[in-house]
């Protein structure tokens, strides 16, 4: 495993074959992704760039002014470029759609290396509960722009409930989203 330190301020510590929890926030928390068409654009870009950079997406949620990812990246040094390309392409397409030139869409992103299984599952649950937390829906299964339904279909309600019971939701925010 190689470790890299990026030039980002504060620096990102990047490791190969590592699982990361990512939060990316829009500029001034502006709800740029305020409709399904815009969220669908971001979802498709995430899939495209995940394939390009050999990123496994375990969990995701796309909100109006931020997104969360739980990913494993093959080459740690690619994490910064993966986020740059996701945010850059989504900003470009959003600005084109809104007929706005060079508007700043994304502010920053934060990452955390996942070192323990309990941390992985707590963040997995946090991501899926995010639309409920922010009042978008009353039930996680009612939100279209998260990986919750995929897991519910693949593993079933007992598995999901067990994950939430074993690994309760922790609020990982620090006022940044």
pLDDT per residue as tens digits for the range 19-60: 999 999 999 999 999 999 999 999 999 999 999 999 999 999
Structural domains in the chain?
3-166 (3.30.70.1290)
Asked whether the beta carbons of 19 and 114 are under 8 A apart, the reply is yes
Place of tokens 């829906």: 137
pLDDT value of residue 1: 44
The pair of three-digit structure tokens given for residue 172, joined into one six-digit string: 């990982």
pLDDT (tens digit per residue) in 69-84: 999 999 999 999 999 9
Mean pLDDT score, 132-150: 96
Model pTM? Answer: 0.89
The pair of three-digit structure tokens given for residue 156, joined into one six-digit string: 């079933």
What are the CB-based long-range contacts (under 8 Å, 24+) for 151-160? Answer: 151/59
| Interatomic CA distance for residues 134 and 112, integer angstroms | 22
pLDDT (tens digit per residue) in 92-126: 999 999 999 999 999 989 999 999 999 999 999 99
Place of tokens 């971001």: 42
**pLDDT band for position 173 (50/70/90)?**
low
Stated as kind and residue range, the H or E segment containing 64 is: none
Asked whether the beta carbons of 123 and 166 are under 8 A apart, the reply is no
Place of tokens 């394939």: 51
**CA within 13 Å, CB half, 137:** 15
| Interatomic CA distance for residues 127 and 172, integer angstroms | 10
Cα end-to-end span (Å), the chain: 31
| Interatomic CA distance for residues 170 and 50, integer angstroms | 26
Q: SS3 of 113, please?
A: strand
Residue 54 phi/psi, 5° resolution?
Answer: 55, 55
């Amino acid at each position: 495993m190689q470790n890299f330190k990026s030039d980002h301020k504060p620096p990102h510590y990047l490791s190969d074959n590592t699982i990361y929890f990512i939060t990316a926030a829009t500029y001034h928390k502006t709800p740029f992704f305020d409709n399904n068409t815009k969220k669908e654009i971001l979802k498709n870009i995430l899939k495209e760039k995940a394939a390009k950079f050999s990123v496994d997406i375990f969990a995701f949620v796309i909100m109006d002014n931020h997104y969360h990812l739980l990913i494993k990246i093959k080459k740690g040094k690619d994490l910064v470029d993966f986020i740059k390309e996701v945010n850059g392409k989504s900003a470009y397409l959003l600005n084109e759609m809104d007929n706005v030139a060079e508007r700043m869409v994304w502010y920053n992103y934060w990452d955390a290396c996942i070192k323990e299984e309990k941390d992985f599952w707590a963040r997995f649950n946090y991501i899926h509960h995010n639309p409920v937390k922010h009042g978008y829906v009353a039930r996680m299964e009612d939100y279209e722009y998260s990986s919750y339904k995929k897991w519910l279909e693949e593993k079933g309600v007992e598995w999901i409930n067990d994950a939430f019971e074993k690994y309760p939701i922790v609020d990982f925010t620090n006022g940044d989203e």
